[in-house]
Structure 1
């Protein structure tokens, strides 16, 4: 029983500027902007939505099968995946390209300037859902535009239930395309900002979307999350974090928990709480794939957070 997770793999290069951008960017000179920031702190992390979601699902004991396109520089990431026991069966190397890369500079006010190079990600459509076997559930997460469109259609044609998770790829699509994604998908998962954009572009309210789905899941950060079912809404409380170190990748951690619950036919109350706790554990660590959990520790944190035992 595998989850085919279609999406991006990326290297995230994160730099810290020990000052404030506003002290060095003159508002009346932005038309001739030419600045350089000294960044003594730098780290390179393994990221991308498919990689992050697969990592979190694997931590929970699930069976992820990530699918994506990468560049000729993917070697260190491949070694990391092998060490974590995450299969690379459907990770395709595109010759003459780099793996997708984000270059993020953060200042002391937590403002960020990001440059993103899609690289091999734009070739995601080369992979096809039917190439994978033993798949019981799928996910279409941010990826190359053509890949997202084709993978959603392929999941539907194969009769494989899947989550549509547009993420930062949502602006790539118009209202008709997003409505079609909703009609093809079994579940949709977005954050609160994406939910607003999705409503604006499709003209559908959350309840109207839920009527076309088995569930619409909207995450709201520290406010928890909401699961809209065709008949009613379930409010999932946030899980308290012990430290707030790095929110990057919390949404992917949540989605890893969501997949685990769906794969094991858990009720929505439990599934939502597992997902929320995964997000809280992630935010306590820098980077998107540096947190660790074991079953006993997760069960203890679950009881601590929600006052109930975890039956999974």
Structure 2
């Protein structure tokens, strides 16, 4: 049986700028209807981002077999080279020559307030990819991506009989109740943080028990309070793993989902799967950016044993 995990989601560049001051000292509350300001940002860094890339990076580190199905723009060559260096397949990544790769421009001030601008670019054409062209798959995840792509890929994968994890993330507000009910009906697993899941319940009109009853597993993350997995009428409380440092939460949810997917592919029970996911999130949060933490599979196994007292 194949162990390939199809990862449908965004690929993006994050441009992160630091303003050495406070937005509140420049922005006048009574003049926000005609803002024309410029912030000097002495520091600028580019991070490789996008949910699909973050998940694939972590799954590859675990020894999994990620297959990214996504879209890059005309400026995406360096991202393809990066995947090649890590041995991550790029055969399912489509280049959209008339668009730029999705990019998030983040300006932060000294109080950690942020002003963000997001350009979706090539991500808007993710629906041009076809799951049926990907070959044999063990499991798939629908992570945040272009709206049309998320709808198409979920339907296609359900028709193919591939188990699907639905992870709407920051794209959740794009979908109404009927669309979310359809997604849940097509999915095998649903992963969301506590805020997102409250929105899912509000929009679908379904209770937590009703949603969990339609899935093999419902996963709800709660930040430093850990997470919960509801499967086959059981609730599994997953503890939060102590991080070496709390540096940057960007990509922690993606690292967590990579742990979930690895556990599913390898037939782990839900307590072990959730604990591995929790560990991956803790390892990520100690580093800046979504793809700058490094560990071998053996090092991850050792950290797991230290945290939980047994090997996965």
Superposition TM-score, scaled by structure 2 size: 0.97
Write the distance in 2 (CA, Å) between the matches of 1:232 and 1:47: 35
Write the distance in 2 (CA, Å) between the matches of 1:217 and 1:74: 33
Q: What is the number of equivalent residue pairs in this alignment? A: 310
Q: CA deviation at 1:201?
A: 0.4
Write the distance in 1 (CA, Å) between the matches of 2:202 and 2:272: 30
Aligned to 1:154: 156
Does 2:197 match 1:195? yes
Aligned to 1:231: 233
Unaligned runs of 5+ in 1: none
Q: CA deviation at 1:32?
A: 1.2
Aligned to 2:23: 21
Write the distance in 1 (CA, Å) between the matches of 2:84 and 2:214: 39
Does 2:287 match 1:280? no
Does 2:113 match 1:111? yes
Write the distance in 1 (CA, Å) between the matches of 2:133 and 2:72: 17
Contact 1:7–1:48 (Cα < 8 Å) also in 2: yes
Contact 1:206–1:228 (Cα < 8 Å) also in 2: no
Q: CA deviation at 1:303?
A: 2.7
Determine which of 82, 85, 88 is the counterpart of 1:83.
Answer: 85
Unaligned runs of 5+ in 2: none
Q: CA deviation at 1:137?
A: 0.5
Determine which of 248, 252, 257 is the counterpart of 1:255.
Answer: 257
Q: CA deviation at 1:264?
A: 0.3
4+ long deviations beyond 6 Å: none
Cα-to-partner distance string for 1:37-61 (whole Å, 9 max, x where unaligned): 1111111011101111011100000
Cα-to-partner distance string for 1:103-161 (whole Å, 9 max, x where unaligned): 01112222211100000100111001101012111111111111100100011100000
Aligned to 1:204: 206
Q: CA deviation at 1:232?
A: 2.2
Write the distance in 2 (CA, Å) between the matches of 1:21 and 1:280: 31
Write the distance in 1 (CA, Å) between the matches of 2:45 and 2:177: 38
Write the distance in 2 (CA, Å) between the matches of 1:37 and 1:182: 43
Aligned to 1:94: 96
Write the distance in 1 (CA, Å) between the matches of 2:4 and 2:138: 6
Aligned to 2:52: 50
Does 2:29 match 1:9? no
SS at match of 1:135: coil
Q: CA deviation at 1:299?
A: 2.2
Contact 1:125–1:147 (Cα < 8 Å) also in 2: yes
SS at match of 2:138: strand
Contact 1:12–1:102 (Cα < 8 Å) also in 2: yes
Q: Superposition RMSD on alpha carbons, in Å?
A: 1.0
SS at match of 1:5: strand
Aligned to 1:178: 180
* Structure 1 range deviating more: 153-162 or 106-115: 106-115
